[in-house]
Amino acid sequence: MRGTDEASGSLFSYVDLEARVPARHPLRKIRQVVNEALVSLDAEFEALYTDFGRPSTAPERLIRASLIQILFSVRSERQLMEQMQYNLLFRWFVGLGIDDPVWVPTVFTKNRDRLLTTEMSRKVMAAILAHREVAPLLSDDHFSVDGTLVKAWASMKSFQPRAVGTPPGDDPGGPSGPDSPVEEPAQPTEAETDPMPRPDRQSRNAEVDFRGEKRSNATHVSATDPDARLYKKSAGTGAMLCFIGHALMENRSGLIVQGDLTQADGHAERRAALDMVHRHSPGSTRRLTLGADKGFDAAEFVTDLRQACVTPHVAHKSRYSAIDGRTTRHDGYAKSQRNRKRIEEAFGWAKTVGGMAQTVYRGIERVRSRFILTMAANNLARLPRLLAA
């Protein structure tokens, strides 16, 4: 007998959200690790809020919502709030009940930006790595480092000269100054046809010809994001307004243990590498190894690593290399060179899934905190398979 295609609304639902998520869904393990990591940060959250006034949005929910946005490539907070209205999986992961109201996008953004600073993003990453199931996966001795370009949310047309030259009265398209003479309106004359009206203001996306114009970070700055810098990482590629994201990876499981983001310049990667090594193992007297590509083969950087009790397993240049046979003759050097390339997998995931190919945030502080949280989300995405192995 054929069934009828009739939809009848149900007033009540007796199925819990927990029962709607499959038992073997990978988000179950991710949510368990995240919840236990956030419990360890309870004292940190308590210090951020006062003990009086109206209750704010729970910081645990803000962090879980930001993580689910990265894991499922939701491009904006407005779309995230929209999907949370009907996506039961998102509600379950964040901690909202089926009848709980979803935040207004602007309220969510304001609360999240107040909470997720660079320091808090680093604490969230450290709490996840210190989890009782995650810590045994990490290596304490062997690491790799690299950097990648993160395109800024600014166009090349916003890259304008630093010297803002002319007063308002000299701008042909702007309003007249207070001392400029006021012209009497011309008397209308009879014409056979009325002229086509021309807009006074220029088009918002006007054509710009950069041919023959020399631009550099010393003479120009972006009006949209002043922290972005014009930079290209390799020969034969075009320069763009960007930042450089950095990551320190342990070589056993390929998890990111430190992240950072700086302005783009030729020395940023080496400076960030030293900072991340010292931040991860402050004052360590245990001999560590650090794998890196040829961009890190500089005498000053290699010397700084050796003084920090770190063996530089850096790919050596064919000429004027700071790495000699004392390092390259060991088997560990070859292993580090093989393992260091795995860091590109984290960068690839962050750009294709995590949305870091071009950031939608402005200001180096906001972009840095988002980049570090994306590296933490990359670790979470790999945990279900690593823990099941």
Domains, the chain, ranges and CATH?
17-115 (no CATH), 139-155+233-388 (3.30.420.10)
**Sequence-distant (≥ 6) Cβ neighbours of residue 291 within 8 angstroms:** 142, 143, 144, 145, 251, 313, 314, 336, 337, 339, 340
Low-confidence ranges of the chain (pLDDT < 70): 8-11, 164-204
DSSP 148: E
User: Could you tell me how far CA 155 lies from the centroid of its own chain?
Assistant: 18
Asked if residue 316 lies in contact with residue 323, where contact means CB atoms within 8 angstroms, the answer is yes
CA 151, 152, 155, 158 torsion-angle sign:
negative
- Residue indicated by tokens 């823990």: 387
What's the pLDDT at 14? 75
| Residue whose C-alpha is closest to residue 93's, from 21, 144, 5 | 21
Entry pTM: 0.86
Structure-token pair, residue 224: 């949209």
What's the pLDDT at 183? 45
Collapsed DSSP state (helix, strand, coil) of residue 151: strand
| Residue whose C-alpha is closest to residue 245's, from 337, 369, 340 | 369
Collapsed DSSP state (helix, strand, coil) of residue 173: coil
Backbone angles phi, psi at 354, to 5 degrees: -80, -5
Element (H, E) at 381: helix 364-388
State the maximum Cα–Cα separation within the chain, in Å, rounded to a whole number.
92
What's the pLDDT at 286? 80
Q: What is the CA radius of gyration of the chain?
A: 27
What's the pLDDT at 221? 94
Asked if residue 180 lies in contact with residue 172, where contact means CB atoms within 8 angstroms, the answer is no
- Backbone angle region of 63, left / alpha / beta, with phi > 0 → left and psi within -120 to 50 → alpha: alpha
Q: Tell me the C-alpha distance between 248 and 280, whole Å.
A: 9
Q: Tell me the C-alpha distance between 293 and 312, whole Å.
A: 11
Structure-token pair, residue 68: 């689910």
| Residue whose C-alpha is closest to residue 313's, from 277, 262, 349, 263 | 277
| Residue whose C-alpha is closest to residue 246's, from 117, 371, 73 | 371
- Residue indicated by tokens 């970070």: 217
* Helix ranges, 198-298 (H): 268-280
| pLDDT tens digit sequence for 137-164 | 999 999 999 999 999 999 998 998 987 5
SS3 string, 82-134, reads HHHHHCHHHHHHHCCCCCCCCCCHHHHHHHHHHHCCHHHHHHHHHHHHCCCCC
DSSP 362: -
| pLDDT tens digit sequence for 109-139 | 999 999 999 999 999 999 999 999 999 999 9
Q: Tell me the C-alpha distance between 345 and 142, whole Å.
A: 18
